[in-house]
Amino acid sequence: MTSEAVPSPPPRPGRRSPVASVIAHALLIIASIAMLYPLLWMLAAALRPQQEIFSTTSIIPSSISFEAFSRGWNGLQVSFATFFSNSFLISILCVIGNLAACSLTAFAFARLKFWGKNIWFALMLGTLMLPYQVTLIPQYVLFKDLGWVNTFLPLVVPKYLAVDSFFIFLMVQFFRGIPRELDEAAMIDGCSTFQIYYKIMLPLSLPVLTTAGIFTFIFTWDDFFGPLIYLNDMKNYTVTLALRSFVDSTSQSDYGGLFAMSVLALIPIFLFFLFFQRLLIEGIATTGMKR
């Protein structure tokens, strides 16, 4: 069903009156406007003159200026350039870690034979249910004792230890769909187990790796709780933390700057939406990913 999840469905049997279809479109258009209005309003608020922001409900600015962006960019003691590069660095490192560690784990579960496999697999699935709050405090103590608080390590290192069971499960499912004959042929040709993983499985698993990579990026980019407890120094803040500081400091009420930075924070996710929408929607339709 993966390839069929996207094209539009065949019309239902029976005649649809044109009136019904017009009503359906009207409802959907009204709903679309309501759904998009907050986003468009925020975009307009970032572009319009400051005094206009809260005095109008229109989503079309009377004049466009990018002044709020430069104001917001330097609105805190540290420039947003730092926050964006921190967020990018953390997100990219997490993507690499998640893809490498989860695919290694998934390969073992999907393809290799070893003692206790079913038990380990069941335990891995069991951790899907575990809310992160349960491991939070001992993890915090551990990272604190290691001297990792106020560094990116507590946010990044766990991804290299395959803690995202959901992506492991996703990859196991995908790997199982790849014909075993390919591994066997490779083995006869003298490939080692690692070469089979690296040269056969990974290249054939590009769709699932892309989906997992994009979602890891988005989840990490949006993560608020992790940075909130581990990053104290503003130089290390991610964009999410910086936005929160911005809200707290809007007693000086630079709302234009706040909305401008909020818009920028959404742009990377929006780009994924533009270019990988099909893949994202398929990922959700077939796996029930949360977003």
Residues 27-46 that bind other proteins (CB under 8 A): 27-28, 31-32, 35-36, 38-39, 41-42
Positions in 259-278 near other proteins (CB under 8 A): 259, 261-263, 265-266, 269-270, 272-273, 277
Q: Which of residues 51-80 bind other proteins (CB under 8 A)?
A: 54, 56-57
Give residues 242-261 in contact with other proteins (rule: CB under 8 A): 243-244, 246-248, 255, 258-259, 261
User: How many residues interact with other proteins (rule CB under 8 A)?
Assistant: 104
> By C-beta, is 89 or 146 nearer to other proteins?
146
- What is the spatial distance between Cα 90 and Cα 94, in angstroms, rounded to a whole number? 6
For 30-61, letters b (16+ CB in 10 Å) and e give eeeeeeeeeeebbbbbbbbebeebeeeeebeb
CB of 130 to other proteins, least distance (A): 7
Q: Out of 24, 40, 89, 206, which residue is the one contacting other proteins (CB under 8 A)?
A: 24
Smallest distance, other proteins to C-beta of residue 49, A: 16
Query: What's the CA gap between 52 and 27, in Å, rounded?
Result: 31
**CA distances, 117 to each of 22, 106, 114, 167, 228 (Å):** 56, 11, 6, 18, 37
Q: Does 131 bind other proteins (CB under 8 A)?
A: yes
The whole-angstrom separation of Cα 258 and Cα 255 is 5
Near other proteins in 166-225, by CB under 8 A: 168, 193, 197, 218, 221-222, 224-225
Q: Please state the closest distance from residue 157 (CB atom) to other proteins, in A.
A: 9
Contact 236, 115 (CB under 8 A): no
Is residue 88 involved in binding other proteins (CB under 8 A)?
no
Which residue from 266, 225, 45, 241 is spatially nearest to 140, judged by alpha carbons? 225
